[in-house]
Chains A and B, each alone.
Chain A
């Protein structure tokens, strides 16, 4: 909350520090006001929370339950397994699908993280320029990034496949990271531009009037203001990269780079005709654990990024 008013500029930004004070005063007020009917309101919120929780977590629980069913228990017609069996987890950790699954997991994590970092760094620079600076070609950048995000991934795949074969990027990490940028960059640019647009630019202008270069203004005023937005954008970008399926099935062919969503199509039952329902469910649960951990771990940052973000300062 205090990031806005850097010491040397506090004098030049009376507007915002005043705003900051109002904020502090306001956010302190509601609890006092709510004190009266606390009990019922609290209960109401908890009921709502439980309902949301069921909606959000039920499908995950469902596939978790499926992952503990034996092949012939799958058709028992009930949510819970008749008896809890770990046979599907054995299949993906020590059984036939071990190599397939573990390498895919490593590929997914590595490729997605790199694609996210690159996209967010580049998008932050780009979005700042778009939201803040006058330069020729601004509209072009936005139009192109919109077109990029609109273009159906399906139709990029075949031409990319041919180029990648020629220059040796087929079935490599880099060969997925670059197309992933086409997924993560546009949304990062647009989201960040929207964020940046709503930052109180008077601060920046004040800093510039005060004699700072645009770059200094960017570093000292805007970066702290924008950081929460950038972080949120990074998470959005990561989940988009993590989620990719089409590039994953089209631009890889071995364990070298095949990510998890694509690898799920490679699971198999004891024979080619048996449905790998159990193994897929188990793998699905395993790849969901990192997401849950990530969400638990970064929830505060996301919340901070979104609620105490740019505008509220």
Chain B
């Protein structure tokens, strides 16, 4: 917290600039360092370890049989139909939940942004409930709701074709995934809507006003003014939710434990390295999972030009 002394202020603009640039760089590094180092510590070591472990045939209960096998684990995984079906389930969940959440979340954000005073606070409070609830709790709530043993949805939804008292929602992938995705959407839509709301709040009011004055319809104002100005918020929301959805674990673990074609990649990684204690094979699954997510992020950043590091922005 040094104060700027008078002589320095008096000196030439140029000198101040270069000195400023230097101190700015130093300050920048100082501010970023603690968070950076902690992240490195918590993640870099395990990442390196996971990559290394994935090259071995190594079972925790047979440490003596540990053996270097190169890329064999990756070959085993990539040629196994289980992996591809799990990848398919994971992608399906990611695409469906993120798409639905984005639409619902945007509608919710609009409602929160424009609602009349008396309902505004109420809506905001209510959407924060699913948002704050523990995923495991949400999974239990939806599971008990639809379970053929303790649920009541079969009688509530009996007017739907295909639903009757004998429908066991968790006995086949299609219906089980429906409930799993429903609970994910319920739980995480508020997250997206909050991020989108922050984006909405940052759309300059003057612009929408001006557009309205110029005779733009509501739809035009939405697509030409509001959405483009929210691009950063939307991309951040989608990116984070997609990466999160891709790692879905808790809801599946609680509801079906991956049975009947509901297994996602992270569950496969969990069952392989924690359940079977096959550290090598499990680490390889984890590394592949990581690479998939990295690819998604790469596409988002390069393809859609999400660039948080771009200082100043272009708003």
Contacts and interface: CB of A to CB of B under 8 A. Distances in A.
Interface of A: 19, 22-23, 26, 31, 34, 41-42, 45-46, 48-49, 52-53, 55-57, 59-60, 62-63, 66, 74-79, 122-123, 125-126, 128-142, 144-160, 163, 178-179, 181-182, 185-187, 189-191, 193-195, 197-198, 201, 208, 211-216, 219, 229, 232, 236, 239, 242-243, 245-246, 250, 260-261, 264, 275, 277, 280-281, 284, 287-288, 291-292, 294-296, 299-300, 302-303, 306-312
B116 interface: yes
Interface in B182-220: 183, 186, 190-191, 194-195, 197-198, 201-202, 204-206, 209
Interface in B112-139: 113, 115-138
A138 B129 contact: no
B116 A34 contact: yes
Nearest to B13: A209
B308 A194 contact: yes
B141 A303 contact: no
A138 B36 CA distance: 10
B195 A211 contact: no
Contacts, number: 358
Contacts of A135: 24-29, 32
11 contacts: A42-B116, A48-B123, A59-B145, A74-B150, A151-B290, A154-B266, A193-B308, A215-B27, A229-B198, A243-B134, A287-B137
A191 B236 contact: yes
B293 A152 contact: yes
Contact of A295 (B129, B232, B273, B283): B129
A250 B297 CA distance: 27
Contact of B137 (A63, A140, A179, A296): A63
Contacts of A208: 20
A261 B137 CA distance: 8
Given A134-B24, A135-B29, A152-B290, A284 B42 contact: no
Given A299-B125, A300-B121, A153 B247 contact: yes
A199 B72 CA distance: 51
Contacts of B167: none
- Give chain B's interface residue range (CB within 8 Å of chain A): 35 or more
Contact of A66 (B129, B144, B186, B312): B144
A178 to B, nearest CB: 6
Nearest to B28: A135
B140 A129 contact: no
Contacts of B81: none
Nearest to B195: A191
B241 to A, nearest CB: 11
> Which 6 A/B pairs are nearest by Cβ-Cβ distance?
A155-B286, A135-B28, A133-B28, A291-B132, A129-B31, A159-B49
Nearest to A126: B35
Contacts of B311: 131-132, 134, 197
Contacts of A23: 205
